[in-house]
Chains A and B, each alone.
Chain A
């Protein structure tokens, strides 16, 4: 299934590096999301974009910087991360924000390891 794609699938970076995660959705959706999934913990919503506008920043540290140039693409720029930021980062999209029960479709995720 290629509805939502993410690159890279795996990333190892040092605490001083700068890297970016990319997400692309081919579903014609208007809303996109970044989630963090740590081991044995629930998915944590990080950011929400609707029609390219950021509508939610869930108290995410500034070392994570999202960018949404259009409704199909979403980036997460990373800099000076900490080892505790190691996790699976999932991108998702949905048809619209604001629709009760709107289904979110997830990408395969980027497994990030911060050394």
Chain B
């Protein structure tokens, strides 16, 4: 079983729509969770950390469900610039991050 699994998508949505997707992780002892964003042929960049209580950053909302071992990302009022691959990242130990293969989102005009 993969450490971190994501639906690869693509999720094709119109501008202004809401899109949401999940990521599951296998290690119940995982401590920290993140969403990174990776644009085509660019490096991953931290989008947001995911806290136990859930957190929001502008149009982005992240949730953590430890019981079911998944995290989610919701994007409201999608913009064309939101088109990217979103990487789910889990910290299983002091420094070792496990990455999902990414969920591709395409926002169309």
Contact = CB atoms under 8 A, between A and B. Distances in A.
Interface string B38-49: 000111111001
Interface residues of A, number: 26
Given A106-B43, A109-B42, 11 more contacts: A45-B96, A50-B95, A90-B44, A98-B95, A100-B91, A101-B91, A103-B34, A103-B49, A104-B97, A105-B46, A108-B43
A85 B44 CA distance: 20
A108 B99 contact: no
A31 interface: yes
A104 B45 CA distance: 9
Interface of A: 31, 40-43, 45, 48, 50, 55-56, 90, 94, 97-109, 111
A103 B94 contact: no
B101 interface: yes
A97 B49 CA distance: 17
Contacts of A45: 96-97
Interface of B: 2, 4, 8, 31-32, 34, 41-46, 49, 87, 91, 94-102
A55 B95 CA distance: 10
A107 B44 CA distance: 9
B49 A101 contact: yes
B31 A42 contact: no
A99 to B, nearest CB: 7
B4 A42 contact: yes
Nearest to B51: A101
B32 to A, nearest CB: 4
Contacts of B44: 43, 90, 106
Nearest to B33: A101
A108 B87 CA distance: 16
B42 A40 contact: no
A31 to B, nearest CB: 7
A71 B8 CA distance: 36
A40 B96 contact: no
B96 A109 contact: no
Contacts of B49: 101, 103
Contacts of B87: 42-43
